[in-house]
Each structure stands twice: as C-alpha cells, then as structure tokens.
Structure 1
C-alpha cells in the first residue's frame, strides 16, 4: 500500500515533468507565428500583385492579412498545445 503510493506519486511527478517538457511556451508560439506569417505574407503580396497589378493595393492586402492571421495562428497554436492527442 505504501509502496503503491510512492510509485504512483513518482509516476505523477514524471508525467507532469513530461507534460511541461512537451508544452510550448507562449513566446515560442509567437516566434513561430511571426516566421510563418512572413512566409505567408510574401505569398499574399506576390499573388495580390499578380492579380491586381497594383503594388499599393497588394501591400494593403498583405498587411491586413499579416495582422489577422498572426493573431489567429497564435491562438490556434495555444489551443493545440492544450490537446494531448498525438503527443
């Protein structure tokens, strides 16, 4: 009985350490979101310019796209970080 409690307690500590190790910090999610958005924004800028032929309009579209998708990606990452499936 006592040994069971000792081993169960040890397993719970190991599990919480593993969970903490596999969990991403918010700063990492922000950096990942920024790097991905730079790639995505360049794509949006190029496609918008090809479709419109106007660099100012393409830049406006890419700027709005950058801000909105950066915010959405951050919360998407944080949500997925809470889901244990596949970890």
Structure 2
C-alpha cells in the first residue's frame, strides 16, 4: 500500500509535467501564453484533484495484489 505522502508527491510531479505541456498546447492553440497558462492552470487543478482521489481509491483496493 502506498502512503498518502507518496501519492501526493506522485500527483504533484505528474501535474507539473502536465502544466508545462498544457501551457505549450494552450499557447499553440491560442497564440497567447496568458490564455494557455489559464487553460493549463485549470486543467492542472482538476487533474491534480482527480488523480489524487484516484490513487487513494486504488491504494485501498486489494484486487490484483500478491501477498508475500
């Protein structure tokens, strides 16, 4: 089982990667770093929240785990 701290760090790192890539995609789509950054920020906030919840739910599911 993963700790909450590990899940949190994984979510933060993943969302930093997503924030950077979405800013670039937003800039390409709109021609504006402001608009691209706003889109990326909203996406990151939603993605962070849903990913963290997803990780915690799966951390509690025993299916598919091997017990040593």
TM-score (norm: length of structure 1): 0.71
Match of 1:39 in 2: 17
Q: Which has the larger Rg?
A: 1
1:79 aligns to what? Answer: 57
3-state DSSP of counterpart to 1:84: coil
Aligned residues: 65
Partner of 1:3: none
Greater fraction helix: 1
Long gaps (5+) in structure 1: 1-22
List 4+ stretches of structure 1 deviating above 6 A: none
- Structure 2 unmatched runs, 5+: none
2:34 equivalent among 32, 56, 76: 56
Q: Distance in 2 between matches of 1:51 and 1:67?
A: 20
Measure how far apart 1:85 and its partner are. Answer: 2.1
Give the 3-state SS of the residue equivalent to 1:43 in structure 2: helix
C-alpha RMSD of the superposition:
0.8
